[in-house]
Structure 1
Amino acid sequence: MKQYKNIILSTVSAGLVLGFAACTNSYEEYNQNPYGVSKEEMQRDAYSLGAAMVNLQSWVVPTDVNTNQFTECLCGGSYSGYISDSNAGFAGKNFAQYSPENGWSRVLFKDIIPKLFIYFNEVKGATDNPVPLAVANVVQVAGIHRVTDAYGPIPYSKVGVNGDITAAYDSQKEVYTRLFQKLDEAVKTLTANRTANFSPKADKVYGGNVEKWIKFANSLRLRLAVRISKADPATAKQQAEAAVNHEVGVMTGNDDNAFMTLSSTNPFEVIMYEYNGGDSRVGADITSYMNGYNDPRRAAMFTKSTFANGTNGYYGLRSGIQIPGGEIAHAYSNYNVKTDTKLLWMNAAEVAFLRAEGALKGWNMGDKAGNFYAKGVKLSFEQWGVSGAEKYLADAASTPALYNDPVGNNSYSGKTSTVTIAWNDGDALERQLERVITQKWLAMFPLGLEAWADYRRTGYPLLMPVKVNNSGGIVNTERGARRLAYPQEERTNNLDNYNAAVGMLGGADNMATDVWWAK
């Protein structure tokens, strides 16, 4: 269906709009049974399993345009330096200025958690085949970790079969313990059935290829292990080494990348081009880094700006500013996304950088940090179809550029990174970590929630501070938002459990309190 709705009109609250079903890329039409076929017939052609599994997959990185806008662009995009708001109507109620309306900040919690449980249980009801059931566990982990990483403690182990989240919360450490258990069990099942590929109708990511799912599950395990490496270093090391040294292992090439094939338009394309001429633009942070590095990936990733004054190139829009009105905001560079662009979950480049960081920590990752670092850069260049990786990796002089706003209102001349590209084994450990995270950040675009997690965990990459901080002094401008506040509905409908969760959080329920792994 090609009827796109502008979900954030100034006269309609975002919370109300979320009550309506989005048209684009919603796989829930699979749940309809227009032909009245029997259960046996549906199972015979994998229709039931396909409906449930594809619905489940569509809520990891949401394919629903409305949901995707809040989670990937307005929240993850703003806090990662990837994407900025270009709709002046968002002023005063957005993530970037640390003042999101409840209708904005509730989405990851109230929309994603129930869907991940409802469709997971539909998969369980559609098959007793252990292979797709194990895959469903991996998919649910891939989605739920993004939620706990945004809020901290969440309802998880006590969530109802029907997705009812009016339930007790688990601490974030408990959530992570369960996520690792699920991945471990899934990998064991899939490894024992590694040649038992299942119907591609039930898999929009790997077409039913079991070995690809094993690699993704192990890679996801590595991602989560690195994330908790400061909070629980012993568990992190054990989980990371188990993932990398497994007999099938982790992603190593771009043919392992987890991309979801969409049945309709890529949601980023709708948000960044069709809503009001584009509700978002590429962020100034990522274009400034790549301009300073003269990064050849820019032409594949971004469009050039279109300012009437002729000052054009790769100029992103700074986040957390007074959003310019009219067409000025739309003249900045945009994401070079097409209608049929697949939706990224995780790529092999990220995995190489995760292994590089693990090697810096002294973990057994299979090679030296510098070699994994180089591999990550090369994989990213290959993914974007760009040459010149060797020359880029040899550059020991270029540093990120200061941001010069073509309009002149939001330039930045403050503290910026001095990190170069070329690897140096003699550099201090912290310098090497910044280099790894910086290139990982460039390679993970547009996974904003992942980049935000790395920023909170490591402080890298160095991002420009916001100019408009509407948090009332709660959020430190230099540190930025550390988490999302719980939905207001939790205080009304789940008060006792909410209060217990705030106790687990160890701080106030606001955007300045660190989650467990970032403390």
Structure 2
Amino acid sequence: MHYLKNNKRTGWLWIIIIILLSSCTKGFKDMNTNPNALPGDRLNWDNVYLGGFFKQMGENVIPLGINDYQVVQNLAGDIFGGYNGQTHNWNAAGDNTTYNFSIGWNGAAYNIFYSRIIKNYDTISKYSANNPDIIAVARIIKVAAAHRMVDMYGPVPYFKTQGSLGSGAVYDPMDSIYFSFFKDIDSATTTLKKYISLGVNTLKNFDPIYRGNYRQWVQFANALKLRLAMRIVYAEPEKARGYAEAAVSDPAFLITTKGDNATLQGTEGVTYTNPLWGVTDAYQEARMSANMESFLMGYADPRLPAYFQPSKIAGDPSGVYRGIRSGSIIADGLRYQPFSMLQYNYNLVWMSAAEVSFLRAEGALRGWNMGGTAQQFYEAGITASFDQWGVSGAAAYIANSTNKPRAYTDPVNGTNNVAAGDPILSTITIKWDEAGSFEKNLEQVITQKWIAMYPNGQEAWSEFRRTGYPKIFPIKSNKGNDPRLNTIQVKRLPYPASEYQNNNINVIRGVTLLGGTDLGGTKLWWDKKP
């Protein structure tokens, strides 16, 4: 659950109550009007009506509620992408941590996407015919949420959902959905650029990301376009290049500094509690991962204390951090609770200047026109990440050519250890290797990008699937029904059981569009790296 402090809420409630009361005392016609709805001519009055729908969309791209965040993000992308381990197992038969995917957990992302993103977007579109700027920002948010959805599952109902699921919700091909993202982004940015010079700030009170700043929304939209272009590089390389080069063609409309990061900051008078507080502190479950320990301790990374808290294991000296290997069989969760908790005193970030620099570094590495060299953007990405987290030492870190990810030791269960020389342990160094092969340079870019994107595990998981980097330890125990996951690791989440119960014909079509079985080892459309 997230907590809000809204100093203006009471004032708005009285305004709405007065409007409702006055609309219900004017005779028979008004007696037959829905008393719970604002009158038609007041629907857009100061955006009171639309603002609530818009705000809820912003709060659910990455869900803010602790329980929602845990099942949609923390027990999916955060563990599959190598960021977090868990202090216990939820079920002796297995759960997401051991690839026996929870039926209930799998449905959470579906429910949130259709009820809080798509349904609200449909409402905003219906009542904002005279406010194309509002529709444009809502469209960008919809794309930001939708790409996370399809990157979890594959084909989903998208073009004809009417805001909800049911027997008539037809599954659409993943490539068609992706190509629609680029059209929506282009349409939205074209619209918003017309409003920027006018100084319009219609959504100031309802926009939890940029507080109505349309220039920053255009910057985010282009950065998102760059991310999505890179996602499809192995499936549609020429289209990927075209979209990427278009996204960076006007640097004034691209995220380049931390002040333009897409951050879930809240509106004026409204603050949010980072849901990582709930999963690591209140629930005592999420902890630093073994992979994060290996990379950050091995690199002596100055961002380590900004991300995690030191170990509380008795006998550990100060400055020691302990991570949990995902997929471990844990007999006594209390023994893992003293491992490194997550830091949470910051706002969640949808997309950062650091990520944009790493995307441009990869594009330049591929020979695309990104406005600079791969090395320049690689080093700029590290510098931007250090700046974002308020830590010093970026120059020395960038110049380090010796530090490598270190071996992993589990002080509770030695069978989880990863010894030096084990092929699953990365050996990549930090300093840019100008003479390195394409794959070595790509591993450098994605490894540092992975570190910089923390804690956005959904994006880390997608990039790991797309590129194979960084090297993430395979889980210790696969209790699911797909043996492929022992080596390739999880590629997607199976569709929710509710879809087989309520939308059976269409979900079966969705599996056909997927091109494989409805299992965790079936690759998505863009997952085509040789």
TM (normalized to structure 2)?
0.89
CA drift of 1:407 comes to 2.6
Q: 1:131 to 1:248 in 2, by over 3 A?
A: farther
Deviation, 1:163, is 5.9
Mapped to 2, the partners of 1:429 and 1:286 lie a distance apart of 24
Contact 1:85 1:323 in 2 (8 A): no
Is the 1:214–1:249 contact (alpha carbons within 8 Å) kept by the matching residues of 2? yes
Query: Structure 2 vs 1, CA of residues 442 and 23 (structure 1 numbering), >3 Å: closer, same or farther?
Result: closer
> 1:388 matched to which residue of 2?
393
Q: What is residue 402 of structure 1 aligned with on the other side?
A: 407
Aligned counterpart for 1:297 among listed residues 300, 303, 307: 303
| 1:514 aligned partner | 523
Relative distance call for 1:484 and 1:161 in structure 2 (3 A) is closer
SS in 1 for 2:287: strand
C-alpha displacement of 1:324? 4.8
Question: Partner residue of 1:225?
Answer: 229
- Indicate yes or no: 2:17 matched with 1:36: yes
Q: Describe how 1:262-277 pairs up with structure 2 within 5 A.
A: 262=266, 263-275=271-283
1:206 aligns with 2:207: no
Q: Within the alignment, does 1:309 sit opposite 2:310 as a pair? A: no
Q: Mind listing any 5+ residue stretches in structure 1 that lack a counterpart?
A: 1-21
Aligned partners of 2:386, 2:316: CA distance in 1, in Å?
29
- Map 1:390-469 onto structure 2 (within 5 A): 390-409=395-414, 410-413=416-419, 414-415=422-423, 416-469=425-478
- For 1:43-81, what per-residue CA distance to the aligned partner results, in whole angstroms no more than 9, with x for missing partners? 443322321111111110111221100122111111011
Deviation per CA, 1:362-407: give whole Å up to 9, x if none.
1111100000000000000001100000000000111111111233
2:250 to 246, 263, 266: 246
| Deviation at residue 485 of structure 1 after TM alignment | 0.6
Alignment partner of 2:187: what SS?
helix
Q: Is the 8 A contact 2:166 2:503 kept in 1?
A: no
Alpha-carbon displacement from aligned partner over 1:173-204 (angstroms, at most 9, x marks no partner): 01101111100100111112223333311211
Q: CA separation of 1:518/1:166 partners in 2, compared to 1, >3 Å: closer, same or farther?
A: same
**How far did 1:492 drift?**
2.1
Q: Could you tell which deviates more after superposition, 36-45 or 389-398? A: 36-45
In 1, Cα distance between equivalents of 2:341 and 2:114: 30
CA distance in 2 between partners of 1:241 and 1:442 (Å): 25
Deviations 1:240-273 (A, max 9, x none): 1111003633211111101112434221111110
Cα offset, 1:307, TM superposition: 0.5
For residues 291 and 247 of structure 1, the distance between their equivalents in structure 2, rounded to whole angstroms, comes to 35
Over aligned residue pairs, what C-alpha RMSD do you find? 2.2
- The worse-fitting range, judged by mean Cα deviation, of 220-229 and 114-123 is 114-123
| Partner in structure 1 of residue 287 of structure 2 | 281
Question: For residues 44 and 114 of structure 1, do their structure 2 counterparts lie closer, same or farther at Cα, with a shift above 3 Å needed?
Answer: closer
Aligned counterpart, 1:65? 66
Matches of 2:172 and 2:483, distance apart in 1: 26
User: Could you tell me which residue of structure 2 aligns to residue 137 of structure 1?
Assistant: 139
Q: Which has the larger radius of gyration?
A: 2
Q: CA deviation at 1:126?
A: 4.7
- 1:85 corresponding residue in structure 2: 86
3-state SS in 2 of match to 1:281:
strand
| 1:287-311 alpha-carbon deviations (Å, 9 max, x no partner) | 2101110001111111000101335
What count of residue pairs does the alignment treat as equivalent? 493
- Aligned residue identity for 1:180: F
3-state SS, counterpart of residue 431 of structure 2: coil
Cα drift, residue 229 of structure 1: 0.4
Whole-Å Cα distance in 1 between the matches of residues 405 and 5 of structure 2?
39
Q: Supply the distance in 2 between the matched residues of 1:156 and 1:437 (Cα, whole angstroms).
A: 30
Unaligned ranges ≥5, structure 2: 20-37
8 Å contact from structure 2 (residues 280, 286) kept in 1: yes
Q: Secondary structure at the match of 2:98?
A: coil
Asked if 1:215 corresponds to 2:216, the answer is: no
Which residues in structure 2 correspond to 1:116-265 (within 5 Å)?
A: 116-127=117-128, 128-162=130-164, 166-195=168-197, 196-246=200-250, 248-262=252-266, 263-265=271-273
Letter in 2 for 1:221: K
Alpha-carbon separation, structure 2, partners of 1:367 and 1:134 = 30
CA contact (8 A) 1:399 1:420 kept: yes
Q: CA deviation at 1:91?
A: 4.6
Alpha-carbon distance in structure 1 between the residues aligned to 2:202 and 2:3: 27
Q: Assess if the C-alpha contact under 8 Å between 1:403 and 1:411 holds in 2.
A: yes
Q: Distance in 2 between matches of 1:165 and 1:65?
A: 30
Which among 369, 373, 379 is matched to residue 374 of structure 2?
Answer: 369
For 2:506, the equivalent position in structure 1 comes to 497
Partner of 1:56: 57
How has the CA–CA distance of structure 1 residues 504 and 208 changed in structure 2, closer, same or farther, with 3 Å as cutoff? same
